[in-house]
Homo-oligomer: A and B are copies of this chain.
């Protein structure tokens, strides 16, 4: 959604009336935004929706083009909002009174729109007056869990406890986790899911401890063009994210660092995928096709 508004903003700032120029600017901006992150597929989907609008209006002048692009971006925003609410409601059905939930990274309002994806399940459950609590993994290296998720959940008065990523297993062993919800950046047609680094760790630990592990993601996160998670490109980021904090060095100079931003959770470790249409269960290849294909 942000990508759609990014393109829109750029076109809106264009002051000239030259159609050729604005089209070049539009496509250049789309191409540029497409290079920003390789893993999440929604980014590419949204840019494609904006490109389609331009293709469908070949006779529009610059002013009309601005109008149709604004209309499209707003439509995407509204649709996303509705989709998040529906996912939230489907997810909330999985939360029973007294449950201790767990989530990783930020799959809430700050990462998406409105209710978000994984956090939408908590927001819906709260609205239904269910009693539950949430463990939020801090999510190294960028701490989206402590900085964003804890802030969002605290604002909604949801009982939240922050932990380091390496403490999740210990809580599971103590039977302090009943259900896990994670978002997704891209889901292959067989259900393999790329999400923030640490999600795969949670899925393996959940399997070991017999804890249900759910992905929450809208249709736009599915990439039915790819057969498995092996085809999802994983973004590797700069070492300073791991070796420094707030400008302070926390590792010896020159140390090698491996810093992948995402990992892929194989479908066999996923209990269900919560979408705006309902929860998809295994076998995923068949059921994903049936529900959203």
- Give chain A's interface residues, CB within 8 Å of chain B: 135, 137-141, 143, 146-147, 150-151, 154, 159-171, 173, 197-198, 200-201, 204-205, 207-208, 239, 242-243, 245-246, 248, 250-252, 254-260, 263-264
Contact = CB atoms under 8 A, between A and B. Distances in A.
A134 to B, nearest CB: 10
23 contacts: A137-B166, A138-B251, A139-B166, A146-B242, A146-B243, A147-B250, A154-B255, A162-B239, A162-B243, A162-B257, A163-B257, A163-B259, A164-B259, A166-B201, A167-B198, A169-B198, A170-B197, A170-B200, A170-B260, A170-B263, A204-B204, A207-B208, A246-B246
Number of copies: 2
Given A205-B201, A260-B170, A164 B147 contact: no
A239 B143 CA distance: 15
A114 to B, nearest CB: 20
B161 A252 contact: no
Given A166-B197, A167-B260, A171-B258, 15 more contacts: A138-B250, A140-B165, A146-B242, A146-B251, A150-B251, A162-B239, A162-B251, A164-B198, A166-B198, A169-B198, A169-B200, A170-B200, A173-B264, A204-B204, A245-B245
Contacts of A258: 135, 161-163, 167, 171
